[in-house]
Structure 1
Amino acid sequence: MSDLEARTDALEVRLAYQDQVIEDLNQTVIAQWKLIDSLRRQLNELLDRVQEVEDNAGGPSAPEAPPPHY
């Protein structure tokens, strides 16, 4: 019975470590998703600001033609 108890104890220890690793990975993934969401919001805000500046620039929307001497 001693061998069986030792194997059971080893499996329980291994399971405990795996549970901790899974929890650590889960927390890492949660933190990364929060960062991704924050970066997406910032990117959307910047895109909105760039679009607003372009709309208010008042210049021609098409690129300028090259000067006649080209």
Structure 2
Amino acid sequence: MFYLISSWECRISQRRLQRARELRQILCHLGPSFVKVGQSLSVGLDICPQEYLDEFSGLQVKVSHAVHSCNL
């Protein structure tokens, strides 16, 4: 039973991580104002799950640099 719960939690975590990456890429694609939203979300510890916080923390650079590095 523990294996099933662990496996289920792992799949959920992987999906969250994938969605966080996709959302970061969308924010970058939409431009500097949306990158700023991502930056704000990255410090909101009570707003987003940890996977999103980790992904958005990469946006904590200059907006122009973050927009140009979206192709990563």
Q: Please give the TM-score of this superposition, normalised by the length of structure 1.
A: 0.46
TM-score with structure 2 setting the length: 0.45
Greater radius of gyration (CA):
1
- Which one has more relative contact order, counting CA pairs under 8 Å at least 6 apart? 2
